[in-house]
Structure 1
């Protein structure tokens, strides 16, 4: 270890490190010279003020700092940073430091923070990262409540496998402050998460919103139709307790909507989909126990170009009168609807260029046979057809 330290100290200028201490580094200063070699530091347990040496401002050129696989590391004192350490740091990555409980709360130029498998790390409302744009938190016990508008310049937030996260909220004191830079939000594998802020998310430039495998999520953000007026992509997957969208429905700007494995989020006219003139791609993959016919008349918007429905276990009828007004529809896909056997009165849109029905009943397959099936006239105008009893 000593030989490795001396070698890295010798070449610290190549790493962009300022000379910040004199003499031979003590064991407490080991990490000073290992900013580029911080994997597998099994013995380090604390970073204190001595980490920065004798200079008033340390590591002035360092922009990217990564720590990984340091199981004994517990403390990284904030006092150590407020004295002038890391004035240019833009990216901080911390992985597999399962006993770390604190990180510096003031990094003025930090733009990216990536934290993974730090089970004891706690976040609080005193964190001051005014330049933060990208935040990724994965496999951590904390936070329980996450306050979004602590980071006014945040563009991308991903929270994954945070087992105790319950609420994503907006601070009451800062509720008037919009998240003007916020563009993408992804929440996944947070099984105790229940809801978003009751007042909604004031993010006028959010374009992508994804929530997946949050078993206890009961509600989406309020006022989505007005506060998220730039939203283009919404993906909701694996949220079995979600039963409806907020009053007012979905943002009219939405272009792609995907709903998967949300067995109680049943499509209905109250969603206001028909009035969403920008919606072009709709995917619904849910094991609804009571949907025997789809879609309802007046449910879908005429703007759709792609429609996929999958895993409807009791679906028997494709309601053509709910599809025939879709004059822009190019691709219709139906997968794993084993009871589907009836194409109702009406016709499929003349705009269709591709029809796929996979995993349907044998009867439906026979009735769609070229020239002799009773449904052939309904599908004969579609250039590309694939009707299969089994999924490939």
Structure 2
């Protein structure tokens, strides 16, 4: 299946999950038909072209997505398509990514951001998060190569930073490494592998 054909309106559709659709390329038809869509999951759909969804979807609040190489070149789709998004969960399926996120990739409306299984990412970029003035929770899980935090500091609005199964960054936080700790110490709660260190 390469596309979803919708013959009429879907005004009551709120959640939608697309899982393991290896050939699926577009959800633009669903976009138009479901103006009240609030919760969208697109997982393990490596050929999906999210840049072709058309007009911004203002009702969407939660997005969970697998982040494949195909999406890297058009990653700014997140900020252009989901202007009211508050919760974003990204599974890192991109093998070439070394740092995340770039400036302008994420919508300023985010309140919660989860980065999971970014196997090759080494650096968390503060510049790509600085404009997230409503961000309250940042979860980093299963990022074995993640060790650095570049930039001034994480957003001032951040209340909770949770780091799980990311030993390099977790250890630097636990040791209050002078190159890392000043960038996160303003956060009210810092948890590393189920233990609060701040």
TM-score interval (norm. to shorter): 0.7 to 0.9
CA distance in 2, matches of 1:247, 1:275: 8
Residue aligning to 2:38:
232
User: Highest CA radius of gyration, 1 or 2?
Assistant: 1
Distance 1:274 1:220, change over 3 A: closer
Q: Contact 2:69/2:96 (CA < 8 Å) preserved in 1?
A: no
Partner SS, residue 365 of structure 1: helix
CA distance in 1, matches of 2:102, 2:163: 19
- Given the alignment of the two structures, is residue 196 of structure 1 paired with residue 196 of structure 2, yes or no? no
Structure 2 residue aligned with 1:213, among 4, 9, 20?
Answer: 20
Residue aligning to 1:350:
156
- Given the alignment of the two structures, is residue 377 of structure 1 paired with residue 182 of structure 2, yes or no? yes
CA distance in 2, matches of 1:341, 1:296: 17
1:91-240 counterparts in 2 under 5 A? 193-197=1-5, 202-222=9-29, 224=31, 226-240=32-46
Q: Contact 1:249/1:272 (CA < 8 Å) preserved in 2?
A: no
Which stretches of structure 1, 4 residues or longer, exceed 4 Å deviation after superposition?
Answer: none
CA RMSD of aligned residues (A): 2.6
Farther off after superposition, 337-346 or 204-213 = 204-213
TM-score, length-normalised on structure 1?
0.45
CA distance in 1, matches of 2:33, 2:163: 38
Q: Contact 2:26/2:53 (CA < 8 Å) preserved in 1?
A: no
Residue by residue over 1:244-303, the C-alpha shift from the partner in whole angstroms, topping out at 9 and shown as x without a partner, is: 342426512110001137564448454152573421100011321122111110111111
TM-score, length-normalised on structure 2?
0.83
CA distance in 2, matches of 1:325, 1:200: 39
How far does residue 377 in structure 1 lie from its aligned partner after superposition?
Answer: 0.9
